[in-house]
């Protein structure tokens, strides 16, 4: 469809979330609910997207603008109903085909939107609504049919006992020809049980003007799952997780316990990588083939090449090249670039540093703001002293250097190629290539001291 415009309703307060955060900004895994709806719209080729905001509109706008380009906003000051919300979009709804979505149904897919658009066009409908059939339709608007055709939608609170028995309900997703929608909106009234302007009534108005209304029965109810409480949020997370993990497994990723593995929609993972339980992998993370990740690992916005092992560690905005192992209990903070065949061992923290191929930082070490060459060996307990309370300085460590255990490297300082530091040294001066630096007091033995002090 070449004139598809998407209007996303997101003005409601979401009282039942019991939260200071607007409902549509709550996250399902690593993305806001509204974000998923926007992305599905874009994937379905929406030409324009407008979000109707109301409660905490500034927070919603700012959060969304930071992430997504080309989104416009309309403000609904008072929440007088879904029809009223659509009216606030002004010129946006005056041309094209208007798809209405809700900001609190994160599971909607682009495929479903595309199917709806096709049906709407092929049947020449003035409006097409997506319905679903539920064992328990309570709370939803009922789709009332006449000789199988659309007649009207009756809200739960306005339904008589016969209507209330109908199991086919309105998902809240529809597409309208703009002119027909606008005409119908001008004829809306709020004479109903909730004194609201119902968008659902526009369908009956359009039908009564002699136009065709289509109904597309949804294949998968889950896509229309609305989130109204933190409990619902957990259902949405579960469903999203299942969808993402299923796709990854079908693409050849081994996920040992999908129930206990939380991977974001934008994450890419290569085949034959094994994900052990308890992992959270977020943002635009890319992981190559044949890696072993986890258990209990968090990786955010990082890039991991092939054949990397990461156990029980946290990686934020980090890069790790092939055949390197990380952890257990390592912390790679933003802008850590680790080369090939490296070992980053237990209780090692690395920040804003480049570690070149073959280097080993095996245990209990902090490397911050440093450029480390190839095949360097860090002894246990090395600290780069990079911060004087005001400024940060860099350490430079040449290829094949050997940092003795429990060394402090006080930056700015440079350790030359193949240089050694003696264990326990506090290094404050540059060390030339191939040299040994000893920076500690000489040992003095007081012979027989124990016997003397104990009489």
User: Which residues sit at the interface with ligand UD1, rule CB under 6 A?
Assistant: 9-12, 52, 54, 76, 79-82, 84-85, 102-104, 140-141, 153, 155, 169-172, 198-200, 226
Q: Which is nearer to ligand UD1, 76 or 359 (CB)?
A: 76
CB of residue 324 to ligand UD1, shortest distance in Å: 46
Rounded CA separation 141/332 (Å): 50
Is-contact 294 310, C-beta < 8 A?
A: yes
The conformation of residue 379, written as its DSSP 8-state character, comes to P
Rounded CA separation 153/144 (Å): 6
Rounded CA separation 339/356 (Å): 5
Residue 304 DSSP SS3:
strand
CB of residue 238 to ligand UD1, shortest distance in Å: 19
The conformation of residue 416, written as its DSSP 8-state character, comes to P
CB of residue 3 to ligand UD1, shortest distance in Å: 23
Cα 208 to chain centroid distance, Å, stands at 44
Catalytic residue among 26, 84, 120, 363: 363
In 155-193, beta strands by DSSP E: 168-177
120 is catalytic: no
Is-contact 424 403, C-beta < 8 A?
A: no
Closest-CB residue for ligand UD1? 141
CB of residue 212 to ligand UD1, shortest distance in Å: 20
Q: Which is nearer to ligand UD1, 33 or 422 (CB)?
A: 33
Rounded CA separation 58/64 (Å): 10
Q: How many CA within 13 A on the CB side of residue 337?
A: 11
Q: How many CA within 13 A on the CB side of residue 175?
A: 28
Rounded CA separation 239/191 (Å): 37
CB of residue 127 to ligand UD1, shortest distance in Å: 13
Q: Which is nearer to ligand UD1, 80 or 385 (CB)?
A: 80
CB of residue 83 to ligand UD1, shortest distance in Å: 7
Rounded CA separation 315/65 (Å): 27
Q: Are strands 149-154 and 254-255 parallel, antiparallel or unpaired?
A: unpaired
Rounded CA separation 101/35 (Å): 12
CB of residue 407 to ligand UD1, shortest distance in Å: 59
Q: Looking at the chain, how many residues does it have? A: 455
* Burial environment of residue 438 by CB neighbours within 10 A (0 to 12, 13 to 18, 19 or more): middle
**Which residue, 114, 88, 104, 83, is CA-closest to 37?**
104
Q: Which is nearer to ligand UD1, 223 or 349 (CB)?
A: 223
| Phi, then psi, of 371 in degrees rounded to 5 | -120, 110
Q: Which is nearer to ligand UD1, 105 or 382 (CB)?
A: 105
Q: Which is nearer to ligand UD1, 54 or 379 (CB)?
A: 54
Rounded CA separation 300/286 (Å): 10
Residue 381 CB partners (closer than 8 Å, separation 6+): 363, 364, 365, 405, 406, 407
Q: Which is nearer to ligand UD1, 73 or 402 (CB)?
A: 73
Q: Which is nearer to ligand UD1, 116 or 338 (CB)?
A: 116
Beta bridge partners of 309: 292, 325
Peptide bond into 47 cis (omega under 30): no
CB of residue 261 to ligand UD1, shortest distance in Å: 30
Question: Would you please indicate which residues are annotated as catalytic (active-site) residues?
Answer: 363
């Amino acid at each position: 469809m070449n004139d598809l415009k998407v209007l996303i309703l997101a003005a409601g307060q979401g009282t039942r979330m019991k939260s200071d955060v607007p409902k549509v900004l709550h996250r399902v895994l690593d993305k806001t609910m509204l974000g998923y709806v926007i992305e599905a719209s874009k994937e379905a080729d929406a030409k324009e997207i407008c979000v109707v905001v109301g409660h905490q509109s500034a927070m919603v706008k700012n959060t969304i603008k930071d992430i997504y380009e080309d989104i416009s906003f309309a403000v609904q000051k008072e929440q007088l109903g879904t029809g009223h919300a659509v009216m606030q979009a002004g010129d946006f709804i005056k041309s094209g085909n208007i798809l209405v979505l809700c900001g609190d149904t994160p599971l909607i897919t682009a495929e479903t939107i595309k199917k709806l658009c096709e049906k709407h066009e092929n049947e020449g409908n003035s409006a097409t609504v997506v319905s679903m059939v539920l064992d328990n339709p309570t709370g939803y608007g009922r789709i009332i049919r006449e000789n199988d055709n659309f007649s009207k939608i009756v809200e739960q609170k306005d339904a008589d006992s016969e209507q209330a028995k109908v199991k086919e309900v309105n998902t809240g997703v529809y597409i309208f020809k703009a002119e027909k929608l606008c005409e119908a909106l001008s004829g809306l009234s709020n004479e109903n049980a909730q004194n609201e302007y119902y968008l659902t009534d526009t369908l009956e108005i359009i039908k009564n003007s002699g136009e065709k209304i289509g109904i597309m029965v949804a294949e998968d109810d889950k896509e229309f799952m609305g989130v109204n409480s933190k409990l619902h949020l957990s259902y949405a997370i579960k469903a999203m997780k299942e969808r993402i993990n299923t796709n990854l497994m079908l693409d050849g990723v081994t996920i040992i316990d999908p129930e206990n593995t939380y991977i974001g929609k934008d994450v890419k993972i290569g085949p034959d990588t094994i994900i052990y339980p308890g992992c959270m992998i977020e943002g635009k993370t890319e992981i190559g083939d044949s890696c072993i990740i986890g258990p209990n690992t968090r990786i955010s916005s990082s890039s991991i090449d092939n054949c990397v092992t990461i156990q029980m560690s946290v990686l934020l905005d980090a890069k790790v090249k092939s055949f390197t192992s990380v952890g257990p209990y390592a912390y790679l903070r933003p802008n850590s670039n680790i080369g090939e065949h490296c070992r980053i061992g237990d209780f090692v923290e690395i920040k804003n540093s480049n570690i070149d191929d073959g280097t080993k930082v095996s245990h209990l070490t902090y490397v911050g703001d440093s450029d480390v060459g190839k095949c360097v060996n860090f002894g246990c307990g090395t600290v780069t002293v990079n911060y004087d309370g005001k400024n940060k300085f860099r350490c430079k460590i040449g290829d094949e250097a050997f940092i003795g255990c429990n060394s402090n490297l006080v930056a700015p300082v440079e350790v030359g190629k193949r240089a050694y530091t003696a264990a326990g040294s506090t290094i404050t001066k540059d060390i030339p290539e191939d040299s040994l630096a000893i920076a500690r007091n000489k040992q003095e033995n007081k012979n027989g001291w124990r016997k003397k002090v104990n009489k």
